[in-house]
C-alpha cells in the first residue's frame, strides 16, 4: 500500500494510469505521449509495476501494459479508511 501511494505521488505516473484506463498500451505507445526519454518512462513503468497498479505482458517484441484494477480497489478503500472517521475496517487479519 505504501508503494501504491508513492506511485500515485508523481503526476507523470498518474497520467500513465489515465491513459491505461482507456485501453492497454505498449511501452512505446505510452512513451510517445510524453516529452520524456523512453528510459525515463521505463523507470515509471517499473515503479507502477512494483506498486501493483499495472501489469505487463510481453507480446513478441513489444510489452503491453494494462491496469490492475484490484490494486485500485485497495487504494480506494485506503482513502476511504482515511475518510470514514472512527469506523475501523474489520477484515485483514494479521
Helices (H), 52-89: 69-83
In the shown chain, the binding pattern of residues 49 to 68 toward DNA, with x for contact by CB under 7 A and - for none, equals -------x-x-xxxxx----
Nearer to DNA, 15 or 77 (CB): 15
Nearer to DNA, 14 or 77 (CB): 14
- Spatial strand order of the sheet with 25-26 comes to 25-26, 62-67, 54-59
- Judge whether 93 and 73 are in contact, CB under 8 Å: no
In the shown chain, the binding pattern of residues 15 to 44 toward DNA, with x for contact by CB under 7 A and - for none, equals -----------xxxx-x---xxxxxxxxxx
CB atoms closer than 10 angstroms to residue 53: 25
14 belongs to the binding site for a copy of itself (CB under 8 A): yes
Q: Per CB under 8 A, which region of 13-21, 31-39, 44-52, 55-63 contacts a copy of itself?
A: 13-21
Amino acid at each position: 500500500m505504501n508503494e501504491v501511494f508513492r506511485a500515485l505521488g508523481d503526476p507523470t505516473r498518474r497520467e500513465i494510469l489515465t491513459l491505461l484506463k482507456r485501453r492497454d498500451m505498449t511501452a512505446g505507445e505510452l512513451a510517445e505521449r510524453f516529452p520524456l526519454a523512453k528510459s525515463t518512462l521505463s523507470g515509471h513503468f517499473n515503479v507502477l509495476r512494483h506498486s501493483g497498479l499495472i501489469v505487463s505482458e510481453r507480446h513478441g517484441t513489444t510489452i503491453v501494459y494494462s491496469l490492475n484494477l484490484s490494486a485500485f480497489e485497495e487504494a480506494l478503500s485506503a482513502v476511504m479508511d482515511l475518510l470514514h472517521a472512527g469506523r475501523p475496517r474489520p477484515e485483514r487479519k494479521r
